């Protein structure tokens, strides 16, 4: 029976078989990605509270209102800061850890890898709850350290300070996703030729030069993927920020997605929220297009 079906598929040709195989994924992608994007684009030009048909046409009014809202500017700025921190701090640190625990075999190396990767396994909401206890103004780690160094009665509530809350969240985000990128780099390092490294050392290259001219070019594909995932994740981050303060205090920790939820869905301004969703989609799509066009294609051609 199985042989008969296999023979039947072979006689159908590669085209119909390919269509048959991709049809389920295409249907799911259409239902859960394409249609919602089209709906968001449609509702974004209406003043709509989610009840009944959308009839109050605003054109680009929602987008104009968005550009004039200072909280939206704060959210966009926070996302940009998050991208910069991810690229400048998180990814280099993940690469350094991968070099330390990914290329050497010593007792307990798997334990070290598991410790660094464990935060990524935790759900974002669980991560947020854990760090709310760590940042607790009465029994949290900052308060305990301050009291340890002589500041009796000190209460440090980082998440309650508008000027410090987002920096505290950045620490959580770096801690949360560091292990994921470390594992990516460890996987990439497995394909680096040891002979190339030995040849570079014989030619007089220092350890830093070996990393720069041999190891990094050899794992460039992994770095390209890591940067892409980091930027897209930074643009769409929600759960951790929401669990740590829901965009507060005084909207100082808003990101684009928390802004969408706070000023769109929670206020039943679904038309305005759809406009924010369209902006997030366009930013993600633009980055994806430019990255594929100039970075991925260059890597492929190279």
Q: Is the pTM here over 0.85, yes or no?
A: yes
Same domain, 250 and 105: yes
- Give domain status of residue 31, yes or no: no
Measured CA to CA, the distance from residue 62 to residue 49 in angstroms comes to 13
Looking at residue 13, its pLDDT comes to 53
Looking at residue 275, its pLDDT comes to 94
Same domain, 55 and 189: no
Number of domains forming the structure of the chain: 2
- Give domain status of residue 12, yes or no: no
- Give domain status of residue 22, yes or no: no
- Give domain status of residue 278, yes or no: yes
Residue linked to tokens 């939820």: 261
CATH assignment of the domain containing 170: 1.10.3720.10
- Give domain status of residue 46, yes or no: yes
- Give domain status of residue 28, yes or no: no
Q: Residue 233: exposed, middle, or buried by beta-carbon count in 10 A (0-12, 13-18, 19+)?
A: middle
| CB atoms inside a 10 Å sphere around CB 172 | 22
Helices (H), the chain: 2-12, 14-29, 35-43, 61-67, 70-85, 91-101, 109-121, 124-134, 141-148, 165-189, 194-202, 207-210, 216-218, 220-235, 239-245, 256-260, 270-290, 297-301
Helix (H, G, I), strand (E, B) or coil at 9: helix
- Give domain status of residue 253, yes or no: yes
Looking at residue 64, its pLDDT comes to 93
Looking at residue 299, its pLDDT comes to 63
Same domain, 57 and 202: no
Same domain, 240 and 285: no
Q: Are 231 and 86 a contacting pair, CB within 8 Å?
A: yes
- Give domain status of residue 256, yes or no: yes
Backbone CA torsion sign across 119, 219, 187, 106 = negative
Q: Which domain holds residue 298?
A: 39-68+270-302
Same domain, 186 and 87: yes
Looking at residue 169, its pLDDT comes to 94
Same domain, 148 and 289: no
Same domain, 55 and 130: no
* Token pair belonging to 36: 């919602």
Same domain, 100 and 235: yes
Looking at residue 229, its pLDDT comes to 94
Residue-wise pLDDT tens digits, 53-65 = 888 888 899 999 9
CA 278 vs CA 12, 48, 60, 175, 202: distances in Å: 41, 15, 12, 30, 55
Q: Which of 241, 98, 111 is nearest to 178 (CA)?
A: 98
Residues lower than pLDDT 50 in the chain = 9
Looking at residue 175, its pLDDT comes to 94
Looking at residue 279, its pLDDT comes to 94
Looking at residue 248, its pLDDT comes to 85
Same domain, 85 and 129: yes
Same domain, 56 and 124: no
Same domain, 83 and 216: yes
Same domain, 252 and 123: yes
């Amino acid at each position: 029976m199985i042989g008969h079906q296999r023979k039947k598929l072979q006689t159908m040709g590669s085209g119909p078989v390919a269509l048959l195989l991709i049809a389920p994924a295409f249907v799911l992608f259409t239902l859960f990605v394409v249609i919602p994007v089209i709906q968001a684009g449609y509702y974004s030009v209406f003043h709509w509270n989610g009840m009944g048909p959308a009839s109050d046409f605003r054109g680009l009014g929602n987008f104009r209102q968005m550009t004039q809202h200072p909280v939206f500017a704060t959210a966009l700025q926070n996302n940009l800061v998050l991208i910069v921190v991810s690229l400048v701090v998180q990814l280099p640190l993940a690469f350094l850890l991968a070099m330390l625990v990914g290329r050497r075999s010593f007792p307990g190396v798997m334990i070290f890898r598991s410790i660094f990767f464990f935060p990524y396994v935790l759900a974002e909401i669980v991560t947020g709850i854990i760090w709310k206890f760590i940042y607790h103004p009465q029994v949290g780690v900052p308060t305990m350290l301050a009291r340890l160094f002589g500041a009796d009665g000190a209460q440090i509530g980082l998440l309650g300070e508008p000027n410090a809350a987002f920096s505290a969240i950045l620490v959580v985000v770096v801690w949360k996703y560091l292990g994921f990128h470390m594992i990516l780099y460890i996987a990439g390092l497995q394909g680096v030729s040891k002979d190339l490294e030995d040849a570079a050392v014989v030619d007089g290259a220092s350890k830093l030069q070996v990393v720069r001219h041999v190891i990094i070019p050899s794992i460039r594909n992994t770095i390209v993927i890591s940067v892409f995932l980091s930027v897209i994740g930074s643009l769409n981050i929600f759960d951790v920020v929401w669990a740590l303060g829901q965009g507060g205090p005084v909207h100082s920790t808003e990101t684009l997605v928390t802004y969408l939820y706070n000023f769109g869905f929670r206020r039943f301004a679904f038309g305005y929220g759809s406009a924010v969703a369209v902006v997030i989609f366009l930013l993600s799509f633009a980055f994806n297009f430019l990255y594929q066009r100039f970075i991925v294609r260059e890597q492929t051609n190279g």
